Copies of this chain bind each other. A is one copy, B any other.
Amino acid sequence: MNKEFYKLKTSIIKALSNPIRLMIVDCLRDGEKSVTQLIELLDEEQSNISKSLGILKSNGLIKDRKEGLNVFYSLKICCINQFFCCLDSMIEENIKYQQELINSSTKKG
């Protein structure tokens, strides 16, 4: 149990554990976007988007490319599709489980 190593891992997970940042990553799955585009797509404050991009970048999840005034961000991680796939199936399972709980409780009561 090397706790330092787990801290390193959780810092990456933490970067994804915020709705705005997760939306950004999801958004970038279909190609690079400028900060302005992300602000529009996500309908969030400019400073929030900028800060979120900084956190994602410093954790190695995205990379940037400057072009004049604009900065374009894109994904740096290959396994992101698997990741979202996994997340979706977890949510699906959770919903199914909660449904079962509701069903069994209504049968009893």
Instruction: Name A residues whose Cβ lies closer than 8 Å to a Cβ of B.
Output: 1, 3, 6-10, 12-14, 16-19, 22-23, 26, 41-43, 59-61, 76-79, 82-83, 85-87, 89-91, 93-94, 97
CB distance from A46 to the nearest CB of B (A): 16
Contact (Cβ within 8 A) A19 B23: no
Q: Which residues of B have CB within 8 Å of A23?
A: 1, 3, 6
Q: A12-B94, A60-B94 are in contact. List 8 more A-B contacts (CB 8 A).
A: A1-B43, A3-B19, A9-B19, A10-B17, A17-B17, A59-B94, A60-B90, A61-B90
Question: Do most interface residues of chain A lie in helix, strand or loop, or is the interface mixed?
Answer: helix
Copies of this chain: 2
Q: Which residues of B have CB within 8 Å of A83?
A: 83, 86
In the complex, 29 of the A-B residue pairs with CB atoms within 8 angstroms, ordered by the A residue number, are A1-B23, A1-B41, A6-B19, A6-B22, A6-B23, A6-B26, A8-B91, A9-B19, A9-B87, A9-B91, A10-B16, A10-B19, A10-B22, A12-B87, A12-B91, A12-B94, A13-B17, A14-B17, A17-B17, A60-B93, A60-B94, A76-B93, A77-B86, A77-B90, A78-B89, A79-B86, A82-B82, A82-B86, A83-B83
